Amino acid sequence: MEELILGRRAAVLVVDVQNDYCHPEGALGLGGADVSGVRDMMPNLHRLLAEARKQKVPVIFIQTFHEEATDSEAWATRSAGKSAAVCRTGSWGAEFFEVQPEQGEFIVNKHRYSAFVNTRLDSVLRTLQIDTLVVTGVSTNVCVESTARDGFMLDYHIVLLKDACASYSREAHEMTLQNIEEYFGTVTDTPEVIQAWEYSRKAAALR
């Protein structure tokens, strides 16, 4: 973990922490999805972001927008059409939930599950010379996993934080953790990553 977090150039990805996915009154919450996992993971995400900013670790926010220009016929049929109203461009539901990018931080807009499909994410990461992605957000088994998989396929090291991402069922969340650990990266938690950053800061202060 120290090699991945400290020995390489890492960035934090915050995937789809938006009202429609996270807020009880968002589209998924009103549709019956259990968003309690989001509530449980938000304190961990806030702690992670605070420490990343202290350490000058780049933070990249992934924000989904859906609109007619990108709603292909195939895409519109996802979830049996139940997702048609989710994160529409310009809506409250598409706004960030309890997090906001700070000055100098990046927002990458996406229109599919993976943050790498038809976006500028790879270009931003290459420009920053990033090779490790600390992946957080929602939902674990859909957009987070899709992004992590595609990142691995593009030769990024993947570190998935099990307590800073959430799904709408515990089973789905756990299945993704197992899949990532076995095939696509490393699964850990925020205390381990924060501890590594704190160690680095203390070591630098003693030099």
Continuous H helices in the chain: 2-5, 19-22, 27-30, 36-54, 73-76, 121-127, 145-153, 170-179, 190-205
pLDDT, average across residues 195-205: 79
Residue recorded with tokens 């490393």: 186
Distance between CA 150 and CA 138 in Å, rounded?
16
Closest CA to 87 of 148, 165, 23, 35: 23
The yes-or-no answer on residue 143 being catalytic is yes
Compute the radius of gyration of the chain from its Cα atoms. Answer: 17
Q: Residue 11 pairs with which residues in a beta bridge?
A: 133
Question: Residue 52 sits in a domain of what CATH number?
Answer: 3.40.50.850
Name the residue range of residue 8's domain. Answer: 2-205
Residues 123-156: tens digit of each pLDDT: 999 999 999 999 999 999 999 999 999 999 999 9
Q: What is the band of 80 on the pLDDT scale with cuts at 50, 70, 90?
A: low
- If phi > 0 it is left, if psi is from -120 to 50 it is alpha, else beta; for residue 87 that is left
Angle between helices 190-205 and 36-54 (to 10 degrees): 10
Q: What's the pLDDT at 149?
A: 98
The active-site residue out of 110, 150, 163, 165 is 110
Pseudo-torsion of CA 94, 176, 99, 49, nearest 10°?
-150
Q: If pLDDT is split at 50, 70 and 90, which confidence band does 206 have?
A: low
Whether 20 is catalytic is no
Give me the number of domains the chain comprises: 1
Q: Is 16 a catalytic residue?
A: yes
| Per-residue tokens: 7 | 């020995």
pLDDT of residue 201: 73
Average pLDDT over residues 109-131: 97
Query: Is residue 178 packed enough to be buried (19+ CB in 10 Å), middle (13-18) or exposed (0-12)?
Result: exposed
Mean pLDDT for the stretch of residues 109-126: 97
Indicate the pTM of the whole model: 0.94
Which residues are registered as beta bridge partners of 132?
10, 157
Beta strands in 18-171 (DSSP E): 59-64, 106-110, 132-138, 157-166
The closest of 137, 140, 141, 189 to 161, measured between CA atoms, is: 189
Cβ atoms within 10 Å of 41's Cβ, excluding its own: 26
Give me the count of residues in the chain.
207
DSSP 144: I
Res. 207: pLDDT tops 80: no
Active-site position among 20, 22, 87, 143: 143
Residue 203 predicted with pLDDT over 80 = no
Q: What does the pLDDT average to over 198-204?
A: 76
DSSP annotation of 175 reads: H
